[in-house]
Structure 1
Amino acid sequence: MLRLYTHPACLQHDPGPGHAEQPARLRAVLRALDHDRYAALDRIEAPRATREQLLRVHATAHVEHILNSVPPEGGICQLDEDTAMSHGSLEAALRAAGALVAAVDAVLDGTAQRAFCAVRPPGHHATRERAMGFCLFNNIAVAAAHALAVHGLKRVAIADFDVHHGNGTQAIFEHEPRVLFASSHQSPLYPDSGREDERGVGNIVNGILSPGAGSYEFREVWDSVLLPRLNAFRPQLILVSAGFDAHRDDPLADIRLGEEDYAWLTERLVALACTHANGRLISTLEGGYDLTALAASTSAHVSALMG
């Protein structure tokens, strides 16, 4: 069974007019999943993440900064050049991180086998100390830390196929051997991290895609580098940072994938989860900024998760 976690509050995070990470992104995803072929999805309202859950991966000062930066209705609090909070952003961020925690609990207690979290703001750029790159809290890092601390897992894998490197996720776990972080991303591109020689304690593996790369290069880096490392790690749980901004129509990068590429990789990640983790896999929405491409790519991803 595939669970879908989301919450109306995630539509209330509004970084301002013209911002790429707009509420319309999530509306497009939810409309795409409001179709007969997804009628079997078990739809769950995301809870809030707790302070304790956030503090497993974020510094106290960072959590306090986000909690205390909520602007009045109609206002915007600019956290950095790219990252802003509106009046509804805190609730959205707590629900986004909370969705991942609830999904971890569900797949590890056997209530569900897989989950997709249709939430925003995204998370993989947020570091231990700061919000950045449209991200307030690092949702997938919160989930991985919860799996380690509460469920006692020894091997959690994070697969990140967003076109931008998940610098926050890598930085949070680069000294944690129980977590393997495997990422494909365009380079050069924001946030200018994710080199192949960034290896952590042997638990970081980065696959570089040059501007203009397409399906062949994407599948090659996963087939020859990233998937073998994930397989050798024998994860007990796979978490996926599902960014769809490597699509050929996305305005923020220069990779030329189609939705069939996302289906291809999702099928392989599901197969790995079935081999090593009793099928347990949780995916969360990260980037993707062309609304039509985002809807089509998410549909392909979720269809593959449903098997």
Structure 2
Amino acid sequence: MTTALYTHPDCLDHIMPPGHPEQVARMAHVSEALSAPSFAALDRRDAPLCSDADVLLGHPQRYFDRLQTKAPVSGTRPLDADTHISPGSLTAARRAVGGAIAAVDAVLSDEVSNAFVACRPPGHHAEQEKPMGFCLLGTAAIAAKHALDRHGLSRVAVVDFDVHHGNGTQALLWNEPRALFVSSHQMPLWPGSGHPHETGGHDNVINLPLAPMSSGAEMRRTYESEVFPALIRFAPELLILSAGFDAHTADPLAQLDWTTEDFTWLTAQLCDVAREVCGGRVVSTLEGGYDLKALANSSAAHVHELMRNGTA
């Protein structure tokens, strides 16, 4: 089988103020990297719009209504100091959620081996009723709830390797015993959550802080000793990845010291675990990454490993 790539031009219409790191160029650089001849075998699909019912898997209706009323007719409007909304933002966010849901459907129906959702805005900081950290809707958590509630899975794991703690995904899955949430992230760093004592309502959350300037070697030791054994014990029927590439040494918003090769290694190892516990079923969704060259190279390395494992 193949690897599916879900994306959509609407994600270019999520406009941020000049100089904002979560810029349209992120999407353009990822798309260009994945247009290389080596990615010709990707099963390229349009990310559909999610429905209101899909949003309600993670957020109450009043929150979505509030976002809709705040969307401006033109320009951008701040929702907080870092998070802004423009006329095309909610459509883009619905493409991200819709792409992740469609990817879950395709992987669980064995249409494809695995999938990458290259959409923006990211989603792992959006809490039940709070947009933050450039995020509007909790993409990964909604995808996990879709797999659990609509496909009838018993166990889904979400692994978040973005440099910032996925506080939104943690909040949305905190009381979900069928979901395991694992996050590695720099600490101290915004948003300030993600301490090891935050273990979820059912001991279903694992937070693994990494000190500033931690190298890829430290990451590898942490994943080998903590993450992979936890995933094998939990034995998820689907693995969802919050794929942020801002732990790269070149990223301007954090201070971890990972390289593109570290993302290659991490993706390969996570795919190996998925092959052992859930038939290789992996859905990955783009989160952060703000150095454009590092983002493009790391995304390409990530998808290359998904493709290699999808045909293994």
Under a length normalisation based on structure 1, what TM-score does the superposition of the two structures give?
0.98
Give the 5 Å matches for 1:1-307: 1-73=2-74, 75-200=75-200, 201-307=202-308
Q: CA deviation at 1:42?
A: 0.4
Output the amino acid matched with 1:80: D
- 2:275 is paired with a residue whose SS is helix
The gaps in structure 2 that reach 5 residues or longer are none
Give distance in 2, aligned partners of 1:72 and 1:237. Answer: 39
- 1:68 is paired with a residue whose SS is helix
Output the amino acid matched with 1:291: L
Moved more, 63-72 or 114-123: 63-72
Output the amino acid matched with 1:158: V
Give distance in 2, aligned partners of 1:166 and 1:80. Answer: 18
- 2:4 is paired with a residue whose SS is strand
Moved more, 196-205 or 236-245: 196-205
Output the amino acid matched with 1:86: S
Give distance in 2, aligned partners of 1:231 and 1:182. Answer: 13
Q: CA deviation at 1:68?
A: 2.1
Under a length normalisation based on structure 2, what TM-score does the superposition of the two structures give?
0.97
- 2:182 is paired with a residue whose SS is strand
Give distance in 1, aligned partners of 2:113 and 2:127. Answer: 29
- Deviation per CA, 1:237-276: give whole Å up to 9, x if none: 0000000000000000000000110110101111111111
Q: CA deviation at 1:114?
A: 0.2
Q: CA deviation at 1:295?
A: 0.5
Give distance in 1, aligned partners of 2:256 and 2:197. Answer: 22
Q: CA deviation at 1:72?
A: 1.2
Q: CA deviation at 1:202?
A: 1.0
Give distance in 1, aligned partners of 2:210 and 2:258. Answer: 11
Q: CA deviation at 1:168?
A: 0.5
Give distance in 1, aligned partners of 2:297 and 2:232. Answer: 28
Instruction: Let me know the Cα RMSD of the aligned residues.
Output: 0.7
Give distance in 1, aligned partners of 2:111 and 2:227. Answer: 29
Output the amino acid matched with 2:120: R
- Deviation per CA, 1:24-43: give whole Å up to 9, x if none: 00100000001110000000
Q: CA deviation at 1:67?
A: 2.0
- Deviation per CA, 1:186-237: give whole Å up to 9, x if none: 0000100000111111111111100111111111111111111011100100
Output the amino acid matched with 1:198: E
- Deviation per CA, 1:120-163: give whole Å up to 9, x if none: 00000000111100000011111001001110001000010000
Give distance in 2, aligned partners of 1:287 and 1:136. Answer: 14
The gaps in structure 1 that reach 5 residues or longer are none
Q: CA deviation at 1:111?
A: 1.0
Give distance in 1, aligned partners of 2:221 and 2:209. Answer: 11
Q: CA deviation at 1:172?
A: 1.0
Moved more, 105-114 or 154-163: 105-114
Give the count of matched residue pairs.
Answer: 306
Q: CA deviation at 1:70?
A: 1.8
- Deviation per CA, 1:46-93: give whole Å up to 9, x if none: 1111111111111222111122222113x2121111000111111101
- 1:255 is paired with a residue whose SS is coil
Give distance in 2, aligned partners of 1:263 and 1:231. Answer: 20
